Structures are given as C-alpha cells and as structure tokens.
Amino acid sequence: MAAFSFNKLVIFGVGLIGGSLARALRERARLSGRVVGVGRSAASVARALELGVIDEAAALDDDAALARALEGADIVLLAAPVAQTQPLLARIAPFLAPTTIVTDAGSTKSDVVAAARAALGARAAQFVPAHPIAGRESSGVDAALPELYVGRNVVLCPQPDNAPEAVERVAAMWRATGANVHCMSEAQHDRVFASVSHLPHVLSFALVDQILDAPDAELKFSFAAGGFRDFTRIAASSPEMWRDVCLANRTALLAELDAYTDVLARFRAAIEASDGAALEAAFARSRVARTEWQERGALKSSGDPAAK
C-alpha cells in the first residue's frame, strides 16, 4: 500500500470531523499539502484559519473564491450534515476537475450515494462514499483533535463505477490518520449503524427529553450521577446532524426502534409479573455480551492477534 500524500485538500465543514482530519494529516502524518476550508459561516472558517487547522479559507457563496479553492484540488471532503450533500455537490460540480476525488464523512450512506448521482450525474464516479466512526460530544473546530481517528474504524462504500485507484487513495488518506479502513455496501452500512449508532443517539436524546417533561425534572437532574451521565453523554451531540441522520436512515432506524420497543415490552412484562428470573437471565446475557465486546476492543487496541 502506497503512502498517502496530497497537494491540496479542500474541506467543506471544518468542524470536529473535518478539522480533526486536517490536524491528523498535518500533525500526525507530517504531510505538507495545502488545506483549504470552505464553510457556510465566515466565523467558523476564520476560526479554523486562526487555529492553523487550515491554510486558506473560502466562502461557499462566492463563485470566484470557490473556483480558486477547488482549482488543483486532489481531494475534496464533505464534512457537513448529510442533508447538505446534494446541494453541496451541485454547488461545487462546475468547479471540479475530472481528476479530483470527492468523498464525505456522513453517518448515512444510501441517501448520500443517491445525492451524489443526482448532483454529479455521469461524474458520480469521482465520489467515493466514506464514514469515519469517530466523534466527541463536543463539536466545532475547537474540538478537533489530531488523534481522533487513531485506532478507529472508517467505512468506505465503493461504487461500481469508482476507479480502484480513487478508492485506494481515500483509504490511504484515512489510514494516514491512524484509522482502520473497511469496505461494505451502503445498504449494509445503514443497517449496521442504525443499530449501533443511530438508535443509541435517539435513546439518549429520548431519556433526557422524558426527564425534561417531568414535573420534578430539576430534582431528578440534581441527583443524576454516573449512570445517567454515561448513558446521556451523546445527547450533547449536534441536533442538526442527528436530525438529518434520523430522517436519512429512517427505514433502518424504524426497524431498530420497533425491535427495541419489543425488548422493552418484554422487560416491562417481566417487571410487572415480578419475574426476577427472566430479568436476571436477560441482564446476564447482556452483561456477558457487553464484556466480551469490550475485551475484544481492548485486544484490538493492543494489537493482540487473539482479537482477530
């Protein structure tokens, strides 16, 4: 596998995800390519410039600036909420060189692939869908970390018309950040992440919302401790991003919500019937699965071959 290098990387949305990629390539991989940040907000790209995360800032609504930003770009990363994918691609399409690779960091993939085909048409082969599985409850470029992707997974969803070299180039970029790269179809991606990412975020937001509606909400929050803090940590995530994710992946997410509701109904029935044995058996099964999953993760982090 060839080492990654680039001349110009253009990032649309220099927040946590895009900013962390820029910092990782510069500070961790020690690469010297030029990084251009483009954003809807002048303040956000100005802050990225001030922090040294990018070398140059451009406004999305300025044709001349956008053309200059994209001129000579090797790779373009869309690190914006997934609902913005199609309008962003349509906006940049007139300024894209045939050799520029476009990729994204969206949490859903089927909708993103459809958006790319609608916006780019015959040039959709230039778009390589991707999803870095990393984040923090904080957002914005101030939260960006050069080590955010170390040991984390990045999923690519290669398309039949993607050039193999383009897919490998995107994979090499993410490997340069310390990430592990995997490939799957967009449909498989959306089913998997509806279960292990999108559903947990919905449940976290829902629990906080439930308590907010209680007449004694303030009292409950004042006594909330570690369990509540751990479970609801991700409810501090970007509302805009998670609104878009829920709507974009609604079919798979609704299936997961229905399955979860069935489990809750089973637990409720056991509690109502004072069936302690059923509860303990279910809790023990979950505990074993959770412990084994955590131990496999620890082994992978240590490089132990037993984890494979």
CATH number of residue 116's parent domain: 3.40.50.720
pLDDT at 200 over 60: yes
Q: Quote the CA–CA distance of 172 and 6 in Å, as a whole number.
A: 11
Last residue of a domain, one of 184, 218, 237: 184
pLDDT for residue 1? 56
Q: Quote the CA–CA distance of 237 and 120 in Å, as a whole number.
A: 30
Render pLDDT for 89-131 as a digit per residue (tens, 0 to 9): 999 999 999 999 999 999 999 999 999 999 999 999 999 999 9
Same domain, yes or no: 106 and 255: no
Asked if 182 contacts 153 with a C-beta cutoff of 8 angstroms, the reply is yes
**Spatial CB neighbours of 81, under 8 Å, sequence gap ≥ 6:** 238, 240, 241, 244
Q: What is the domain extent for residue 262?
A: 189-274
Same domain, yes or no: 12 and 147: yes
pLDDT at 139 over 90: no
Last residue of a domain, one of 184, 217, 236: 184
pLDDT at 303 over 60: no
Closest C-alpha among 12, 116, 106 to residue 54: 12
Same domain, yes or no: 252 and 129: no
Closest C-alpha among 71, 85, 122, 120 to residue 245: 85
How many domains does the chain contain in total?
2
| Residue 223: both structure tokens together | 């006594």
Same domain, yes or no: 250 and 205: yes
Same domain, yes or no: 100 and 235: no
Same domain, yes or no: 106 and 179: yes
Same domain, yes or no: 86 and 228: no
Q: Quote the CA–CA distance of 131 and 85 in Å, as a whole number.
A: 13
What's the DSSP call for residue 27?
Answer: I
Last residue of a domain, one of 143, 169, 184: 184
Q: Binning pLDDT at 50, 70 and 90, where does residue 50 land?
A: very high
Q: Chain-wide mean pLDDT for the chain? A: 93
Burial class of residue 196, CB neighbours in 10 A (0-12, 13-18, 19+)? exposed
How many residues in the chain?
A: 308
Same domain, yes or no: 98 and 177: yes
Same domain, yes or no: 161 and 267: no
Same domain, yes or no: 88 and 157: yes
Asked if 44 contacts 14 with a C-beta cutoff of 8 angstroms, the reply is yes
